[in-house]
Structure 1
Amino acid sequence: MDLYFEKINLAADFLRQNGIGHVDTAVILGSGLGEFAESLQSPSIIPYQEIPGFPVSTVKGHAGRLVYGILNGKKVLAMQGRFHYYEGYPMNDVVFPIRVMAVLGIKQLLVTNAAGGVNESFSSAQLMLITDHINFMGTNPLIGQNLDTLGPRFPDMSHAYFKKGQELVKAAASDLHIPLQEGVYAAFTGPSYETPAEIRMARIWGADAVGMSTVPEVIVANQAGIAVIGISCITNMAAGLQKNLNHEEVVQASASVKDDFKALLSAVITAL
């Protein structure tokens, strides 16, 4: 674990040396949503493969680079793409960027993802404010030795997505006349899509949307004392609610809602 912490510090030092200074808000951009980073002014771009210890994104729709720039006077660090457990990365690698963000002193994180709709009142190409989550991944990124420098052994997850942030998202969506759903996000490991029976189970357990990411990052962010806002793009209805599922549809649906997505993120980051 000490070697892991050294690797985190090495990555943080590299980013500082390459111009990453104060960050008002960090953003993780999910499948097909990376275009938001193009709106940052005076950008500094660092491919993941150049950062010591960083894994590399292997999924279509994830550019695999950090973009540091300015948005309406706010300094933003955006991840164009994330790392997934299903890619074969251990959890310590999946959440590595969040650990680095904590060492950099980042206090606010906006996580986004593409998700399947479980709530039957939803439809594709909608945005959903994440109010809570369910971990169906069968593991937890905090399993193993804990270092107090990374956060408490047993972090409280009662308010995994902070209330003020949720209110800001709702207010911004209202001001911009952007339809916004609200609900609970459930994370499965993937990479296979869920079965109709699993979706029925998720609905019974209280899920409104399902995906294959986000929850590990949110757990680690909460352990590190980073306030989290979560927004899902409902790119399709989950298994049993439409005929077939495929990743191309996910990327296409993300693109169709990109203007609303970019406007909402910009408004929220400006208000934070």
Structure 2
Amino acid sequence: MSLDAYNKIFSSVSQEKNLGPHHSIYKWGDKTVVSPQQPLTEATTPSNLINLKRELKGKELLIVDRTHSSEPIIQIIDHRNQMGFNPLVGKTPLDNHPRFPDVSKLYNKIDRG
């Protein structure tokens, strides 16, 4: 899904480039937004994510999903499995990366007052 669906909210977003058939990169002010162009099960393969990391050249990647809450700020402390799908199963290890990388420090807590 492209950001065109969210154009009313993200009216200042401009497309910077396509990363092949898998992702598009957008600029939103001083932020870089990455949008998958395929279902997550196809877009988030280890190979695609490694290519995305190389393209972003060391920038941090903030992953956003639609969340509904009565609280103004929520903190993500864990992630969910895609209904039994695990992108680490299959063609990994890739480029000598481990099949199951250490994710014990995947999330950084940010105190917001």
1:142 deviation in Å?
0.9
Could you tell me which residue of structure 1 aligns to residue 63 of structure 2? 111
- Specify which of 69, 89, 99 is matched with residue 153 of structure 1: 99
- Specify which of 3, 8, 26 is matched with residue 67 of structure 1: 26
Q: Provide the C-alpha distance between the structure 2 equivalents of 1:145 and 1:134, rounded to a whole number of angstroms.
A: 21
Could you tell me which residue of structure 2 aligns to residue 187 of structure 1? none
TM-score (norm 2): 0.63
1:102 aligns with 2:53: yes
Structure richer in helix, relative to its length? 1
Matched to 2:16, the amino acid is I
1:77-119 deviations in whole A, cap 9, x for unaligned?
312x43434xxxxx3x221553322222334111111135xxx
For the Cα contact (< 8 Å) 2:22–2:43, is it kept in 1? no
Q: How many residues align?
A: 105
Matches within 5 A, 1:102-251: 102-104=53-55, 105-116=57-68, 122-123=69-70, 126-135=72-81, 137-149=83-95, 151-161=97-107, 163=108, 166-167=109-110, 170-171=111-112, 174=113
> Unmatched 5+ residue regions in structure 1?
1-28, 56-64, 86-90, 117-121, 175-272
SS, match of residue 151 in structure 1: coil
For the Cα contact (< 8 Å) 1:99–1:150, is it kept in 2? no
1:84 aligns with 2:52: no
SS, match of residue 77 in structure 2: strand
TM-score (norm 1): 0.31
SS, match of residue 45 in structure 1: strand
* Percent identity for Structure 1 against Structure 2: 21
